[in-house]
Amino acid sequence: MLDDRQIHRSTRGTWLLLALLVALLLGSAGCQPVLGSDDAGWNAGKSAADGGVPERGVVIDAGGEGHVVPPDGGCPPGPLDPALGKIITPEALLGPTVQASVPPPPISGGTLLLSADKKTLLASDPDRDLVYLIDLPTQTLRATVQLQAGDEPGRLAEDGAAVAHVALRGGKSIANIDIAGGKLLSRTPVCDLPRGIAYEAATDSLHVACAEGKLVTLPAALGAATRTVELGRDLRDVIVQGGKLFVTRLRSAQLLRLDAQGAVEHTFLPPKATSMQTQIAPGNVCGMGTATDVMVEHTPTVAWRALAVPGHGIAMLHQRSRTTEVSTTPGGYGSSGCGSTIVQTALTLAADTDNAALYPALDSMTLPVDLAADSIGKQLAVVAPGNWGAGAGQVALFLSTELQVAAGLSTGAADADGGVAISPPMMGGCMSPSQIYDPPGQATAASFVQDTLLAVQTREPATLTFYDLTVGVQPVTVMLSPISRADSGHTMFHARAGAGIACASCHAEAGDDGHVWSFAGIGARRTQHLRGGILGSEPFHWNGDMNDFGTLMKAVFVGRMSGFAPSPDQESALSHWVDRQPALRATPSDTAAVARGRTLFESAAVGCASCHAGAQLTNNATVDVGTGHALQVPSLHGVSFRAPFLHDGCAATLLDRFGSCGGGDKHGHTSKLSKAQLGDLVSYLETL
């Protein structure tokens, strides 16, 4: 067994030999791994003598085993088994098909909290409605707090009295836990959809960001809210930094800075990325075909995680989605090579500054749901559960100094320790990690419990693995719960396909990314929302050209995404999981307006219900409603959570949908409605 600090330059020849053997094994399929050169990143890591960082291109699993991974993240399609010759593919990872009676929630990340005294690590488990307290000196499970079914505990914050407060994503409350005693003290109702939470010591207050748009402030000692402000849908993380309060939006990747009254005084957005990339035409099973250089642009989307990082302001871990035309032919969504996919992963430092620097895409980090930083902001850990079983490693370490060099903010002449900094492994605008880890399960969160000790949480099985970053120490894994929450549909939805993206990359948290794509031969199409049930609303896609779920899987997952061909039971498991993800809903503030709006919606004179009716709020028809295209009538479940609206995203708000781009009276007879009536109609739509 290889120790996770014994892989260094002296073993490079062995690993290259193993990689060549893999190429021979896969030769019949035409697979030719790109081993890379020293300049391309394969040999860019530090040796043990340089600080113990193993070769780039080697992934360390929970048992300390090393696996060969080509630098482009492509061929082979999975980690190399130590016995050699066995490739772990997504199909093999799924095993026997399982459909959970209660489908687990989509992955959201951000479920670890290090206590202020650094003696306890708290871990939320949204799959099992539990919160674990792990004793760090002994690295053992000290206590487990049972919550209510469906609470879905998420982000956590500790107040000045050593009480942890947990946002209950499905429980409309926060759970308050005594850290020392490991006991649930109380539940505090806060809003419909709690997401982010932060403690502000200066005012001894908690701030809770809610997906329906509320930012709720309440005393840490609990009691009635002292302030509630409306900031608009899709709030995510809340951060206290430099005496200011910041809030992110999930899908738009906006960072809002608030003034003392809670109003938005400034909005920050990471920059777009434009670069020359190698476009790989559809080829063999490894995605290797004819290569051409094209100029592509990506715009920021889906801010999975944001937090304050010492010395670097607020760091935002987000995606970037392509705005350049996207092919719908097989392999059209790109390959797993760094930067060649339609959805990139990026880590923007100092996101709370105007004209934030453009940082490179992070190599092979599919579905970046969580971010952790050490106490001095030198090491940054990114968690990418989409890489589970893909051979690219689920947890990657990046050095802030190298990121700054890549962004043009530093010459890299010296690092924080005074030594000569290595040149960043840039590959077409991409950054390779300094080290990669693969825990024994699907990773969902990470936390530095010491600067040399990284904890990684997995959801299935429920474990916590400690990776000691010093030389010669094996990982330690702690079992958190024996309860299985396996679900093949959940696994497939979050798994990386050959194009280097997962279903969840565009359909974040089983919803959507709010992005408008430019599809070749089709035009502008907004990512469709999945929550609220999809079965029974066929045909799929805006054009209504996918007759059933099987057709959709073959055309998109297998074709455009270069995924494996699922068996019928695997396909059924995926459709079952997606179909049972509930729509997001918020309690209306003006019930009278909602009642008036419902009357308008259901009236024959207005005609909304002539198409949007039944359990799915659609008649499944494909019609031209004045927008110039015959389009599928979408379900309206959770419609207020999926701006921008209409097939091409032309309506920024629900009210705009009734404006110039909405199709006029061919799309409901609304031209004669007053401004007040349109407001009532919007109030009703926001409850669906």
Stretch 60-88: mean pLDDT: 39
Strand-strand pairing, 430-431 and 395-399: unpaired
Please give the mean pLDDT across all residues of the chain.
84
pLDDT at 412 over 80: no
pLDDT at 524 over 50: yes
Instruction: Give the tokens for residue 586.
Output: 């918020």
- pLDDT tens digits for range 183-242: 999 999 999 999 999 999 999 999 999 999 999 999 999 889 999 999 999 999 999 999
pLDDT at 402 over 70: yes
- pLDDT tens digits for range 365-388: 999 999 999 999 999 999 999 999
Write down the pLDDT at residue 278.
Answer: 62
pLDDT at 601 over 50: yes
Q: What is the CA radius of gyration of the chain?
A: 25
- pLDDT tens digits for range 425-477: 333 478 889 999 999 899 999 999 999 999 999 999 999 999 999 877 889 99
Alpha carbon distance 292, 278 (integer Å): 6
Q: Render the burial of 181-209: b for 16+ CB within 10 Å, e for the rest.
A: ebeeeebbebbebbbbbbbbeeeebbbbb
Write down the pLDDT at residue 470.
Answer: 82
Alpha carbon distance 330, 502 (integer Å): 16
What number of CA atoms fall less than 13 Å from residue 85's CA on the CB side? 1
Alpha carbon distance 536, 24 (integer Å): 47
What number of CA atoms fall less than 13 Å from residue 353's CA on the CB side? 12
pLDDT at 359 over 80: yes
Lowest mean pLDDT among 68-72, 264-268, 286-290, 442-446: 68-72
Q: Which amino acid is at 470?
A: T
- pLDDT tens digits for range 471-487: 778 899 999 999 999 99
Write down the pLDDT at residue 41.
Answer: 27
Lowest mean pLDDT among 357-366, 367-376, 594-603: 357-366
Alpha carbon distance 377, 462 (integer Å): 28
Percentage helix, strand, coil for the chain under 3-state DSSP, each rounded to 5: 15, 30, 55
**DSSP class of 197:** E
Residues in contact with 233: Cβ distance below 8 Å, sequence separation at least 6, in sequence order = 211, 212, 213, 640, 641, 643
For the residues of 287-302, what is the DSSP string, one character each? ----EEEEEEEEEEEE
What number of CA atoms fall less than 13 Å from residue 250's CA on the CB side? 29
